[in-house]
Amino acid sequence: MVPVLNHAFLEHIFGYLKKHNVTDVILALGRQSDQLQSYFGDGSDFDIKIIYSVEDFPMGTAGAVKNAEKFLDSSFIVFNGDVFTDIDVTAMMNLHREKKASVSIALTPVENPTIYGVVETNEEGKVERFIEKPSWDKVSTNMINAGIYIVEPSILNCIAPGAFSMFERDVFPALLDKGDAVFSYSSDAYWIDIGMAKVPDSRLSILENIFHPKKTIPAEVSYVDIA
């Protein structure tokens, strides 16, 4: 995790989620989780409720969610911890319910899809194929997986407990093979992967309008990556 606009990056994500009336948050953490738990506590300073799910070893995007299964009893949002965005997850949830989807995946357009996972869909938005980091001759769309999912709890039955598993490479392709309803939500809203690019100064005012932090980072706080 890195500081952005003088606030912990996760704090910006919390502000974004609160805009969509999401106030119950589960943080899936790996190494050095004590520092994050000490800083964010139970979330009351940020007007949210935080539950921590700590991995004993790296479990991947799906394995980390499986590790938190006991807290998940209704539709939930999975949000990658390295994404800055203003994608409308309220509209995404409405579409998810309308389509009666098992999983909905947010998609965003990028200039260079070869460094991401391309998602092919039909005219109704149903996902048909995933292509991880395709070469240019295999690129059929510039719409990529934006790292935001709405998931039904039944999908957790498809994830082996205590094992490394990725939504992108393992779970989603398996769901397509089973014929499950996997739908997309396409958006051209602001989106950036901070793990892949430096946020330019010209975009900081945009980010300030998206997120509304309330607690300034003390200089002595260390920041660690989270899964």
Residue 74 lies in a domain: yes
Residue 218 lies in a domain: no
Residues 130 and 176: their CA atoms lie apart, in Å, by: 9
Query: Does 221 have pLDDT greater than 80?
Result: no
Residue 224 lies in a domain: no
Residue 167 lies in a domain: yes
Distance of CA 55 to the CA centre of its chain: 17
What is the structure's pLDDT at 217? 38
Q: How far is CA 35 from CA 128, 183, 184, 214, in A?
A: 41, 37, 35, 19
From the list 141, 92, 84, the residue with the least C-alpha distance to 112 is: 141
Q: Specify the number of domains making up the chain.
A: 1
Residue 21 lies in a domain: yes
Residues 65 and 152: their CA atoms lie apart, in Å, by: 12
> Which residue has better confidence, 114 or 225?
114
Residue 55 lies in a domain: yes
Residue 204 lies in a domain: yes
Residues 217 and 199: their CA atoms lie apart, in Å, by: 19
Tell me the mean pLDDT in the region 190-200.
70
The residue length of the chain stands at 227
Residue 90 lies in a domain: yes
Range of the domain at 118: 3-210
Going 6 to 12 to 14 to 15, the CA torsion angle's sign is positive
Tell me the mean pLDDT in the region 204-225.
42
Going 189 to 194 to 116 to 135, the CA torsion angle's sign is positive
Global confidence as pTM: 0.85
CATH code of the domain in which 182 resides: 3.90.550.10
DSSP code per residue over 117-144: EEEEE-TT-BEEEEEES--GGG---SEE
